[in-house]
Amino acid sequence: MKKSLFIKAVLLLSCLFAPGTLLANGTAVVSTEHATVTLLSEQVNAAPDQTLWLALRFELIPHWHIYWRNPGASGSAPVIRWTLPQGWEIGEIHWPVPKRIQVGPLTNYGYEEDVTLLVPVELPPGALLAGPQTIIADAEWLVCRVECIPEDGRLTLELNNTDSDPIMATETRELFSAARARWPEAKTLMGHYRLAGDTLAISVAMSDTLSSAPADVWFAASEWGPVDASGVQQWQRTGTAVTLTVPLGDVPPAADIPLQGLLVVESEHEGTPVRSGYQVQLAAQPLATGNLSLMTALLFAFLGGLILNIMPCVLPVLSIKILGFVREAGANQQRLTFHGLAYASGVLASFTVLATVLLMLRAGGASLGWGFQLQSPLLVTLLTYLMLLVGLNLSGVFSVGGRLMAAGQSLTASSGLVNTFATGVLAAIVASPCTAPFMGAALGFAITRPGWQALAVFLTLGAGFALPVLLLSLFPAWLKFIPRPGHWMKTFQQVLAFPMFATAAWLLWVLSQQTDARSYAGVLAGLVAVAFAAWLYGQWKPGNWRLGLLGAGLAAALALAIGPMLAPDAPAHSRAALRDDRPWSEELVQELNAAGRPVFVNFTAAWCITCKVNEQLALSTDNTRQLFETRSVAYLVADWTRRDPAISQQLERYGRSGVPLYLLYSPTTGQPLVLPQLLTEGIVAEAIHAL
Amino acid sequence: MLKQFFQTTFIMLALYSCGSGAALRIGEPAPYFEGVDSSGKVQRLADYRGKIVVLEWTNHDCPFVRKHYGAGNMQDQQRQAATQGVVWLSVISSAPGKQGHVSPAEADELTRNRNAQPHAVILDSGGKIGRSYNAKTTPHMYIIDAAGKLVYMGGIDSITSSNPDDISRATQYVHVALQEMAAGKPVSTAVTKPYGCSVKY
């Protein structure tokens, strides 16, 4: 059979080199075993300064297909090389909306039955040369069912021929309008995309374009690379937009390069499937982190540090302190300078420690799977709450750390160089009722940045904070310029709340682009809850109750925003029905395998979020459970929550440094199939059916 | 809808947590595999730790494969790789009954007839290795470095046609990558578009 196919292909190739039949009435035809290809012109006569439309029409034998401009996982788009009269300029092929053609696990984009590719030609303004105008198209196309045959042909067409058939011309024009009807819609839709792990999150604005409920919506990139054509796409309508999750291809789009492609909407109209396409232009989602440059951040941090000095809870303390060491040093300028330097180094040391603690927390969090990117709606939500709290604190709705301040005051009351250093170390902390807001802002920025930038921000904040005292120690005469503490400080602090509210507003704007209206409403409700909790905390007098209350309020707010996603779909006990209670071991796998049962091993851990997601979305679903039952697949769990050398070794064997790992052992070969780290029901089902 | 949003969020977080997902990425460990070759020997990726490994997905009836074998391009590259100590493994993932599926004896005969020089021909009729590498076309090429990391994936060369005349004009990506690796340089073009027939899983 294979051999006969080969012979067929060879025979075919030889007959392909026969020139196409030349017809006088504006068409030329080449026939191969799989395709009848016709070259047509919309106009029988070409005129100067005209846009002339040419068409290459493919009529294919049943079940065979040719390809769209981006053929998808395999295949190759038709190529046409034109030879035209001088001065004629050929445009680009206008591709009709393709369909998805499944070849095993691979997806291609192409056309079955027939397809007409239209190409515009611009004619020069000057008069055409006398006589017939010859157009030659050398076409190469790959035609496939499962196997593929490359074919080619030369088609020659003559225009401005005297004896053309007007009836044929009408038929031709009908073919052209039918071809245009299969083009994507004229209007290009705008949207944006962002990288989310191994997928692209795409959102396209489609206010009125999507009338009835579509059966399916999918995206095809114009070129190979950014999207894996074979992967499973998910889509949903969110108000005026369509959002899709599309698997990333071999070449992820570089940051801020727009992505072009086709959005195909499949629906049913009176029982017949209708496929319409929309050209889409996707801008890279503005990365919110890019909006504030490092230099700007450092400038703000420095100013913030300066401003810290005149906060109501800092200025009085510092005035006393400075007066203290001025007194101690007396006329000894050198000693005074030492005091200044000791204080400054103390401040910087303290800020370095804070930054280090932050970075360590972040590293810990990242290893637990927290995404510290503004692309993460959860983090943006938390930062919005933080900014609101900071603003409310500045407004005077509540205050924190009153006791610390009292302790600080007693400490700073003593003297000596070491003490001055200690004052510096503790300055930021002892004055926490006022420094906290600035710390919060700096933290909010720094948490989204690389480590060294976070450190730079904190150190600059510290430098700004230390500078005035250092200057005063160098030039004690300037003490007279220090403003007196007074009520103005309170007003100033309250004014500072507004930049914080503005930041919260900006974060909400970022969030609005990442979520739909309902989740957004959840976050807004959370903001109200946070504000209420802060107010309660500020009102409640008996000391320790207040923290508890604030905690409860915050927890309520967080629960509103993130609670639903922690609630599993299915009750936990239903999982037990699926799982083999015996713990995983290589011997058990072999034993079950020997008994003729396929074995599915889930290498998981309680702290692995990916594992939990996979379990929820792909493994503990009704479909999968049923499939496992009907195929009598043994489901073993290898729990790596605590390190287990046997499991580690197995992971290593499959080139993994950690969980998840999914292995499906076939009873016939005893060899495992390694499933991807991100499972869907489909992937699991396909793997089991392939056993 | 709300649930879906949270699921999406959750998946995003999950993706941040465990690094790479399903897709193959350059610079990451290549998927482990083991498969039986035409001589009945088990070929494991782990056996070649310390050596450069080239994987070539193939199907002798695919016109794009014939383009490169017919012109001797694939054999030349296999021979050159062998002299450099590179382990060249041809992989056939065609399922039984599908185009390109061969018995061990047929595979050996193809190697002889075409004067091919692969280190081994792995018969992956279950498509296990193909799927774990996301092999889409024949030919589809992968290079794995001595440390077991993926350093190249994509086409055999730069002109996506079935015409053998294009071979001399095309950039032979695998050849270039192997030369660069031999010179201790990083692979300059690490990902290209694979072209050819679909793998007949």
Cβ contact A326:A336 at 8 Å = yes
Environment class of A287 (CB within 10 Å of its CB; exposed 0-12, middle 13-18, buried 19+): middle
**CA–CA gap between residue A232 and residue A265 (Å, rounded):** 16
The larger pLDDT score, comparing residue A483 to residue B35, is at B35
Please provide the DSSP assignment of A594-633 as one string: HTT--EEEEEE-TT-HHHHHHIIIIISSHHHHHHHHHTT-
**CA–CA gap between residue A194 and residue A287 (Å, rounded):** 9
Based on C-alpha coordinates, what's the Rg of chain A? 36
Confidence of residue A591 (pLDDT cuts 50, 70, 90): confident
Chain B hits for A673, Cβ within 8 Å: 126, 128, 131-132
Q: Which amino acid is at A632?
A: S
**CA–CA gap between residue B14 and residue A610 (Å, rounded):** 4
Chain B hits for A248, Cβ within 8 Å: 23
Q: What pTM was computed for the model?
A: 0.52
Residues 6+ apart with CB under 8 A from A352: A455, A458, A459, A462
* pLDDT number for residue A14: 36
Interface test with B, best of A6, A109, A250 (most B CBs within 10 A): A250
H/E segment holding residue A111: strand A106-112
Asked if A655 lies within 8 A of B31 by C-beta distance, the reply is yes
Cβ contact B180:B187 at 8 Å = yes
Q: What residues does A159 pair with on adjacent strands?
A: A133
Please provide the DSSP assignment of A307-341 as one string: HHTTSTTTHHHHHHHHHHHHHHHTT-HHHHHHHHH
* pLDDT number for residue A8: 43
Chain A hits for B1, Cβ within 8 Å: 236, 238, 516, 518
Interface test with A, best of B44, B106, B197 (most A CBs within 10 A): B197
The larger pLDDT score, comparing residue A360 to residue A238, is at A360
Q: In whole angstroms, how far apart are CA A410 and each of A309, A407, A414?
A: 19, 5, 7
**CA–CA gap between residue A599 and residue A594 (Å, rounded):** 10
A200-242 pLDDT, tens digit per residue, is 888 888 766 565 677 888 999 998 888 999 888 888 776 677 8
The larger pLDDT score, comparing residue B64 to residue A508, is at B64
Q: Which amino acid is at A488?
A: W
Asked if A678 lies within 8 A of B21 by C-beta distance, the reply is yes
**CA–CA gap between residue A88 and residue A129 (Å, rounded):** 12
Cβ contact B196:A104 at 8 Å = no
**CA–CA gap between residue A65 and residue A146 (Å, rounded):** 9
Percentage of chain B beyond pLDDT 90 is: 67
CA distance A660 to chain B (A): 8
CA distance A564 to chain B (A): 7
Q: Which of B1, B64, B195 sits opposite A516 (nearest CB)?
A: B1
Q: In whole angstroms, how far apart are CA A308 and each of A313, A390, A494, A496?
A: 9, 14, 13, 11
* pLDDT number for residue A503: 75
Q: Is 70 exceeded by the pLDDT of residue A388?
A: yes
Q: Any idea what DSSP says for residue B186?
A: P
- In the numeric block, which tokens belong to residue A32? 């191969």
Q: In whole angstroms, how far apart are CA A108 and each of A77, A98, A144, A208, A562?
A: 11, 9, 11, 29, 39
CA distance A196 to chain B (A): 6
Question: What average pLDDT does range B75-89 have in this prediction?
Answer: 94
The residue written with tokens 């050929």 in the block is A90
**Helix count and strand count (H, E) for chain B:** 6, 9
Q: Any idea what DSSP says for residue B126?
A: T
* pLDDT number for residue B21: 33
Confidence of residue B114 (pLDDT cuts 50, 70, 90): very high
Which A residues 184-203 touch B at CB under 8 Å? Answer: 196-199, 201
Least Cα distance to A329 among A319, A320, A340, A316 occurs for A340
Confidence of residue A82 (pLDDT cuts 50, 70, 90): very high
Q: Which of A148, A197, A370 sits opposite B21 (nearest CB)?
A: A197
A11-59 pLDDT, tens digit per residue, is 344 333 334 444 445 568 898 889 999 999 888 888 888 899 999 999 9
**CA–CA gap between residue A372 and residue A363 (Å, rounded):** 10
Show the CA angle centred on residue A39, arms to residues A33 and A41, nearest 5°: 160
